[in-house]
Amino acid sequence: MTLRIVGPLVALTVITLGVVSTGTRAQTPAPTPAFFSDKVFPVLQEARCSGCHASDGVASATRLHFPDKGATPAQIQAFGLSLAPLVNRADATKSLLLGKPTNTIKHTGGERIHPGSEEETVLTQWVQFLASTSDEQLASMTKGLGDMGEAGPAELVRRLTHAQYDNTVRDLLSDFSHPALRFPPEDFVDGFKNQLTAQGMPPLLVETYSTSAEKLATNAFRVGDINGLVPCKPSSAADDKCRDEFIRKFGLRAFRRPLREDEVRRYATVFSTQAKSSRKFLEGARVVVEAMLQSPNFLFHVEAGPDGKSIDYDIASRLSYMLWNTMPDAELFGVAARGELRTPEGREAASRRMLADPKGRQALDEFFDEWLRFDRVINAVKGRGFAEFTPEMGVAMAEETKSLLHDLVWNDKNFMEALTAQYSFLTDDLATVYGVPAPKGEFDRVQFPANVRRAGILGQGSFLASTAGPIATSPTARGIFIRERLLCQHIPPPPPGVNTTLPDPVEGAVHTRRELMTAHVENPSCASCHRLMDPIGFGLENFDAIGRWRDQETIQLPGSGGGGRGGKQVKLAINTQGEIAGLPNSTFTDAKQLGAILAESPICQKCIVRQMFRYSYGRLETSADEPAIDRLFGTFKDSGFRFKALMTALVQSPEFLRR
């Protein structure tokens, strides 16, 4: 502080960020919470700090977490005040909040704000304000901003996924034609195909729903009521009693709730009009089925129904689509009718029965398919030098991974063994690629010899082949997969216009892929992200583009033949020193070591909970969901990481009932 003599008195001059306040000099106003939201927050956003410092960022394990997208100004201001623990009150210039983004204190994300810039000046003002403000004052300011608590996001209407559509018409109509294979393809958004943000209704999809409904209804009655959809024997085409019984019972199953009386009357009119003109009862039934299959009540999970009174059936539907990926069965409808699903105990009992059903395995397979992106290995194409990689092998690689996960889930084993298993379930061809003993039978368990340096899913072809190109490996792709799929950390896309093509090898200047990729960390616009991804992939470079072990990298030089063929090959030693930046004690040199590090990491363990939460609820978690995530993680961990315990906990949680 600075002293100023005023007559006989000694007064403390108000100092604001090093500027003396006098009656004649211009004053720099003391920052307020609004200063943070108006000035400081935009600087941090422009520096892209929120990309890493979020629940799904690579810095999710740090104390700095940005508010969710769409946060109110008051919430942003409260966030600014909450940064005080990152400030050194004894010497503000040594604060983490200032030193990390400027990289004057070592920062995994590199320099985000240039020292000496206007942006640093703005951040410095806020750091000094926090350093000079007491905890009591900060608490009072935060309280003055009002209630900062967040309600969880409303559960919006969710459309049936294509897989759910196929499964539902299978169980509703006994139709196994998989009509959704002809629908427009679904996009992966936030890692899955069932996320609310991607469930629009483009015109082409509406058209295919209409075409599908017509074909399904026609096939249902093509040779009479062969599937027993009509629960009574009509006396004539004008049998109103049998008509209404059919509408009520089929409608209950199609809409997953009882129909209102006005709905019954509306479908009765449709039925009778068609039955009268054709003089055939089943023609009336056919048009009702066709109409119901195009109704939003069939195509969407409509919470609480039109009258808001079908909560028991809503719960049954949620349970069924979460654990079976299809509609409820008769027993689940009965449990719903008795109101037994409103309690956690009732839902637990129902979930245990459902998980014991084969449909539970099929539904969980859909989660594994999307989470681990089996589509990428199934559709992979490899170039010269990989003749053994056929479409059948791609399918076998996905099946190998599913076999391991099935063993862990359904035999109640520690699910983290998915990353550390010193065994796998192989075919003869896979065993040859991996260089391990052949199985006794198709997808039988094979124990790996002690000197094999692969373990768990990270040593399997479903991961190694899908994160590589047709010929060469991709350390970046492998690093992104581990960051996003196993650590739940989002990596932002590269800046527009960045050339990601590596130079072709030329004789006299041959480099390994790792050496060529040093350009990523030398270019400031690339370094902040690539230092988070590439070092992970570097530790897996002993595995080639289909997952074979190699001690050296083979570089093919271009020749004078057609297509540049005919050049000689150069073999170079591989440096497999890898690390997971931001994770303590995380250096490794192969898949076995990497799997062990991840299996012991609470970030990875909790990520499995997050991925199941996102898939089950069809959305990303928000900060309001973090207490629920913590509870689910606690249950998962206390169970010894039993996956069925996690699924049961999901349906017992209060969030499961939120509408």
Bridge-based pairing of strands 19-20 and 158-159 is: unpaired
| Tokens matching residue 185 | 């393809």
Q: In sequence order, what are the residues at sequence separation of 6 or more whose Cβ sits closer than 8 angstroms to the Cβ of residue 135?
A: 84
Cβ neighbours of 584 (radius 10 Å)? 8
Q: Quick one: 610 exposed, middle or buried, by C-beta within 10 A (0-12, 13-18, 19+)?
A: buried
pLDDT at 532: 84
Rounded to an integer, what distance in angstroms lies between the CA atom of residue 381 and that of residue 355?
A: 36
Rounded (5°) CA angle 311-314-315? 90
Nearest Cα neighbor of 129 from 265, 231, 32, 203 is 32
- pLDDT band of residue 63 (cuts 50, 70, 90) is confident
Q: What are phi and psi of 235, to 5 degrees?
A: -80, -25
What percent of the chain shows pLDDT beyond 90? 59
Q: In sequence order, what are the residues at sequence separation of 6 or more whose Cβ sits closer than 8 angstroms to the Cβ of residue 330?
A: none
pLDDT at 348: 94
- CB distance 36 to 126 below 8 Å: yes
Rounded to an integer, what distance in angstroms lies between the CA atom of residue 1 and that of residue 330?
A: 77
Residue 307 has pLDDT above 60, yes or no: no
Report the run of H or E that residue 140 belongs to, with start and end: helix 135-144
Domain boundaries, the chain: 1-29, 31-144, 158-309, 372-599, 610-657
- Enumerate the H helices of 451-545 as residue ranges: 461-464, 475-481, 513-516, 519-522, 524-538
**What is the three-class DSSP state of 408?**
helix
Nearest Cα neighbor of 65 from 83, 47, 77 is 83
Distances (CA, A) of 231 to 241, 249, 283: 11, 8, 15
pLDDT at 26: 40
Query: Range with the lowest mean pLDDT among 23-27, 566-570, 650-654?
Result: 23-27
Rounded to an integer, what distance in angstroms lies between the CA atom of residue 218 and that of residue 222?
A: 6
Rounded to an integer, what distance in angstroms lies between the CA atom of residue 483 and that of residue 474?
A: 14
Rounded to an integer, what distance in angstroms lies between the CA atom of residue 375 and that of residue 632?
A: 29
Per-residue b/e over 165-176, b at no fewer than 16 CB within 10 Å? bbbbbebbbebe
Rounded to an integer, what distance in angstroms lies between the CA atom of residue 362 and that of residue 406?
A: 10
Query: Range with the lowest mean pLDDT among 74-88, 245-259, 394-408, 466-480?
Result: 74-88
Report the run of H or E that residue 570 belongs to, with start and end: strand 569-573
Task: Work out the mean pLDDT of the chain and round it to a whole number.
Answer: 87
What Rg value do the Cα atoms of the chain yield, rounded? Answer: 30
Rounded to an integer, what distance in angstroms lies between the CA atom of residue 293 and that of residue 248?
A: 15
Residues in the chain: 659
Find residue 573's DSSP bridge partners: 552
What percent of the chain shows pLDDT beyond 70? 86
- pLDDT band of residue 521 (cuts 50, 70, 90) is low
Q: What is the pLDDT of residues 120-166, one digit of tens each?
A: 898 999 889 888 988 888 888 888 776 555 555 555 678 999 999 99
Q: What is the pLDDT of residues 456-506, one digit of tens each?
A: 999 999 999 999 999 999 999 999 999 999 999 988 776 666 666 666 655
pTM of the model: 0.83
Q: Taking the CA of residue 187 as centre, how many other CA atoms within 13 Å lie in the half-sphere pointing to its CB?
A: 9
Q: What is the pLDDT of residues 270-283, one digit of tens each?
A: 999 999 999 999 99
Q: Quick one: 442 exposed, middle or buried, by C-beta within 10 A (0-12, 13-18, 19+)?
A: exposed
Query: Range with the lowest mean pLDDT among 2-11, 90-99, 624-633?
Result: 2-11
Report the run of H or E that residue 613 belongs to, with start and end: helix 602-617
Q: What is the pLDDT of residues 97-128, one digit of tens each?
A: 888 888 888 887 778 888 989 988 989 998 89
For the chain, counts of helices (H) and of strands (E): 28, 12
Task: Give the residue, 98 or 611, on which the prediction is more confident.
Answer: 611
Q: What are phi and psi of 557, to 5 degrees?
A: -85, 145
Q: What residue has token string 């070592």? A: 106
Cβ neighbours of 593 (radius 10 Å)? 18
Q: In sequence order, what are the residues at sequence separation of 6 or more whose Cβ sits closer than 8 angstroms to the Cβ of residue 325?
A: 161, 163, 164, 167, 359, 362, 363, 366
